[in-house]
Every structure is written in C-alpha cells, then in structure tokens.
Amino acid sequence: MQAAVPIFLLGWMTAADALADACYVSSRSSSDAIREVEKELCYEFVGMSQGDIDWSCNNESDEMINTRQQKVASCSSDSIGTCEAALTQESLSNYRSTAEDEDQARPAVPNDAKVVTHYYNVGDLRQVRLDCESAGGTWRGKQ
C-alpha cells in the first residue's frame, strides 16, 4: 500500500508537468530602421494538451526581426504586462494572432482554450497593450 502513494505522486507530478508548456521568445531587429515593439516575451496555451505548443514554438522566420524561440516548462511571473485571448486555430500557429470575436468558430481547439502572453521587455508597452486589446484580448499589467 505504501508503494501506491509514491506512484500516485509520480503520476500527479507528470500530469502537472504535462500542463506546463510555454515558449520563451526573444527578438532583435536586423536593421536599425525597424523599430522593435516586442523584445522579450513568453506565451503559453491554456486548456490544450501537452505538446500542442511544439509546432508554434520554433525558430523559422523570414521577418526582418531575428527571433529566437525556446520551449520552457512555464513562463516567469515577473512580467510587465500580460495579454490573455481566446486561442484560435490561427493563433495556435501564430501566438500574435487572436480572435476578434469570442464566438468565432475554433476547429480542433477547445472553446475555453486561451493563449496567455507575458511581456518582459518591450520597445513600446502602450503599443503592445493596444495590439492586445484591439485583437480581442484582455490586458493586465502596467499602463
């Protein structure tokens, strides 16, 4: 009977780790002419299965901003602002995209799934907040 408790705890800890998928993103411009808005952030999918973030958290980019993405266990809680928005099929592959309409159909994504983006270092925090809110997200934090 005593062996059942450690096995239960191991299973519980593994399940908790399964829910802790996040992607840390850092970016810098390739040119001084391009103004950076986001410099350091972390996003996570809430209400999704483990591994669903894997294919969106990659280093493939053809933009003028050099972006490095790395999968992490969880996002740090010391952000300067957080945007929470409904997770859509589009935002599953592009964390910057959110639903403009909360009732918009989201195939293959649970209705209560969310993308939560934590910002740590940005060029223009007001612009990041405006982008969040104009895309249907809820902003929490400074400004």
pLDDT, residue 38, reads 64
> Is the pLDDT score of 9 beyond 90?
no
Q: What is the pLDDT of residues 54-96, one digit of tens each?
A: 878 876 665 666 788 999 999 999 999 999 999 877 766 665 5
Report the SS3 class of residue 115. Answer: strand
Tokens found for residue 25: 């993103």
Say what the pTM is: 0.71
Which residues are bridge partners to 115 per DSSP? 45, 85
Q: What is the pLDDT of residues 10-67, one digit of tens each?
A: 333 334 344 458 999 998 776 666 666 668 999 999 998 888 888 788 766 656 667 8
The domain limits of the chain are: 21-141
Which is nearest to 71 in space by CA: 22, 26, 19, 119? 22
β-pairing verdict for 38-46 and 81-86 = unpaired
